[in-house]
C-alpha cells in the first residue's frame, strides 16, 4: 500500500522508487502483484505519467486512511502521542484557504518540523472520512453531520458600494432603502434573493433584493461593486483592501451586525491525534489575528 500510494502521488514509478530508496523494477513488480491480487487494473501507464484508474483511485483513498491509522498507532506505541508528527491532510475553500489557511499552515510546519501538511483546496464539502482528511476548514453554516466542529472565528458582513454609485443613486439609510437599489447577488447563498440584517438592538430583518448582476463567486461581486454596478453585501475578508483604499464605502453599519462563522470540523474519535489537536489550537489562536489584519481581502 505504501508503494502504491507513493506511485500515485509521484505519478511515476521511477520517482516513487527514489523516494522509497528502491529500484524502479522492484516498484513495478510490487504494483503488478497488487493488481494480480485484486484482479483489477489499478494504474494507467503512459510514456510520461502514471494515473490511477477508477478502481485504483478507490483503493488509493482507502490506502491513505489505513496508512494514517498505522502511522498514528505507531506514534502511540512509541510514546510520542503528545508530539505532533506525521502527515496532516486538511481541506479548505479555495480562496479562503489560499489567502488565510495556507500561510497559517505553513507557519505551523515551521514551528513543528516533524509535522507534514497536505492542503487540498476545494469549494465542495469533502467527505472527511471517505477521502482521508484529518480536518476541514468550513466558512459558513456547515450541514449537520457526525463531525465534531470547533469555532475558529466570526467575520462580520459589510454592505458597501463605490463612491461613484452612491453619488448617482444615493446612500441607503435603513435596510428597506435597498429595495430601490441595484444589489449584487451571490447565487450560492442560502437566500440568494434576500439579505439578512440585524440592528444593534437585536431586531432582525430579511430584505428582498433585486439587481441585474449576480455571480457564484464573491470576488466577482466585489469587483463589480468597485466598478460602480451596485451594492454588495459580503464578509469583510473579501472587501478589506477595497475598503482601505476607499474603492468601496460601507453603509448600514448600524444594521450590519450579522456574522459568518469559520469553523474547523474533524471526525469524532475517542482520542484526537496530536497532529490534529496541534492544528486546531494553532488555527484557533492565529486565524482571528489574520482576519483582523487591516487591508486583507481574498483575491
- The string of pLDDT tens digits covering residues 193-202 is 999 998 877 7
- C-alpha 237/C-alpha 261 separation (Å) is 12
Evaluate if residue 61 carries a pLDDT over 80.
Answer: yes
Give the pLDDT score at 109.
Answer: 95
Say if 234 falls within a structural domain. yes
Mean pLDDT across 161-167: 97
Q: What is the pLDDT of residue 79?
A: 54
pLDDT at 64 over 80: yes
- pLDDT at residue 80 in the model: 53
Nearest by Cα to 275 from 287, 266, 263: 266
CA distance 62 to 3: 14
Contact 194, 270 (CB under 8 A): no
The whole-number pLDDT of residue 250 equals 96
Among 57, 80, 103, the domain boundary falls at: 80
Q: What is the pLDDT of residue 245?
A: 93
pLDDT in the model for residue 127: 86
CATH code of the domain in which 225 resides: 3.40.190.290
Residue 128 resides in a domain: no
Residue 49: per-residue pLDDT? 82
> Given this model, what pLDDT does residue 262 score?
94
Mean pLDDT throughout 28-52? 89
Region 86-113: mean pLDDT is 93
Tell me the pLDDT band of 142, cut-offs 50, 70 and 90: low
Residue 273, domain member (yes or no) = no
For residue 258, the Cα-to-chain-centroid distance in whole angstroms is: 21
Helix (H, G, I), strand (E, B) or coil at 169: helix
The answer to whether 291 and 158 have CB atoms below 8 angstroms apart is no
Q: Predicted confidence band at 70 (pLDDT cuts at 50, 70, 90)?
A: confident
| Least confident residue range of 105-109, 127-131, 195-199, 292-296 | 292-296
- Are 278 and 112 contacting, i.e. CB atoms less than 8 angstroms apart? yes
Q: Would you say residue 147 has pLDDT above 60?
A: yes
Greater confidence (132 vs 286) lies with 286
- Long-range contacts for 50-58 (Cβ within 8 Å, ≥24 apart)? 50/7, 50/8, 50/11, 50/12, 50/13, 51/11, 52/8, 56/8
Evaluate whether residue 59 is within a structural domain: yes
3-state secondary structure of 103: helix
Provide the 10 A C-beta neighbour count for residue 175: 23
The residue among 83 and 12 whose pLDDT is bigger is 12
Cα separation of 228 and 136, whole Å?
Answer: 36
In this structure, are residues 91 and 137 in contact, taking their beta carbons and an 8 Å threshold?
Answer: yes
> Domain holding 11: CATH number?
1.10.10.10
Q: How many domains does the chain have?
A: 2
Nearest by Cα to 254 from 195, 201, 190: 201
Torsion angles phi and psi, residue 254, rounded to 5: -65, -25
Q: Are 244 and 294 in contact (CB under 8 A)?
A: yes
Q: Which one of 80, 112, 140 terminates a domain?
A: 80
Domain enclosing residue 54, as ranges: 1-80
State residue 76's pLDDT score.
Answer: 63
pLDDT digits (tens, 9 = 90+) for 100-123: 999 999 999 999 999 999 999 988
pLDDT 10s digits, 210-244: 999 999 888 899 999 999 999 999 999 889 889 99
Between 13-20 and 24-38, two packed helices, what is the crossing angle to 10 degrees? 110
Range in 140-144, 216-220, 294-298 the model is least confident about: 294-298
Average pLDDT, the chain: 88
Are the beta carbons of 208 and 198 closer than 8 angstroms?
Answer: no
pTM of the model: 0.66
Is residue 133's pLDDT more than 60? yes
Q: How far apart are CA 119 and CA 5, in angstroms?
A: 17
> In terms of domains, do 166 and 249 share one?
yes
Q: What is the mean pLDDT of residues 261-267?
A: 92
Note the pLDDT of residue 151: 93
As a whole number of angstroms, the distance between CA 258 and CA 241 comes to 20
Residue owning grid cell 450579522: 258
Domain end position, chosen among 80, 105, 125 = 80
Amino acid at each position: 500500500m505504501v508503494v502504491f500510494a507513493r506511485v500515485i502521488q509521484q505519478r511515476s514509478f521511477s520517482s516513487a522508487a527514489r523516494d522509497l530508496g528502491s529500484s524502479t523494477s522492484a516498484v513495478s513488480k510490487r504494483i503488478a502483484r497488487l493488481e494480480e491480487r485484486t484482479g483489477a487494473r489499478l494504474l494507467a501507464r503512459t510514456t510520461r505519467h502514471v494515473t490511477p484508474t477508477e478502481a485504483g483511485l478507490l483503493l488509493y483513498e482507502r490506502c491513505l486512511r489505513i496508512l494514517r491509522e498505522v502511522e498514528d498507532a505507531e506514534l502511540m506505541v512509541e510514546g510520542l502521542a503528545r508530539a505532533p508528527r506525521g502527515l496532516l491532510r486538511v481541506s479548505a475553500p479555495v480562496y479562503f484557504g489560499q489567502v488565510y489557511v495556507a500561510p497559517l499552515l505553513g507557519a505551523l510546519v515551521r514551528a513543528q518540523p516533524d509535522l507534514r501538511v497536505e492542503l487540498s483546496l476545494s469549494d465542495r464539502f469533502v467527505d472527511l472520512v471517505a477521502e482521508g482528511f484529518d480536518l476541514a476548514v468550513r466558512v459558513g453554516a456547515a450541514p449537520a453531520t457526525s463531525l465534531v466542529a470547533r469555532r475558529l472565528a466570526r467575520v462580520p458582513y459589510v454592505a458597501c458600494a463605490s463612491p461613484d454609485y452612491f453619488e448617482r443613486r444615493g446612500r441607503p439609510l435603513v435596510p428597506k432603502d435597498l429595495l430601490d437599489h441595484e444589489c449584487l447577488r451571490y447565487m450560492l447563498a442560502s437566500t440568494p434573493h434576500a439579505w439578512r440584517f440585524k440592528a444593534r438592538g437585536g431586531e432582525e430583518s430579511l430584505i428582498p433584493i433585486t439587481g441585474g448582476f449576480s455571480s457564484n463567486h464573491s470576488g466577482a461581486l466585489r469587483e463589480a461593486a468597485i466598478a460602480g454596478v451596485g451594492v454588495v453585501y459580503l464578509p469583510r475578508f473579501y472587501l478589506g483592501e477595497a475598503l482601505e483604499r476607499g474603492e468601496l464605502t460601507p453603509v448600514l453599519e448600524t444594521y450590519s451586525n450579522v456574522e459568518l462563522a469559520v469553523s474547523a470540523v474533524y471526525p469524532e474519535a475517542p482520542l484526537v491525534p496530536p497532529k490534529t489537536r496541534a492544528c486546531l489550537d494553532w488555527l484557533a489562536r492565529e486565524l482571528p489575528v489574520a482576519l483582523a489584519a487591516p487591508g486583507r481581502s481574498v483575491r
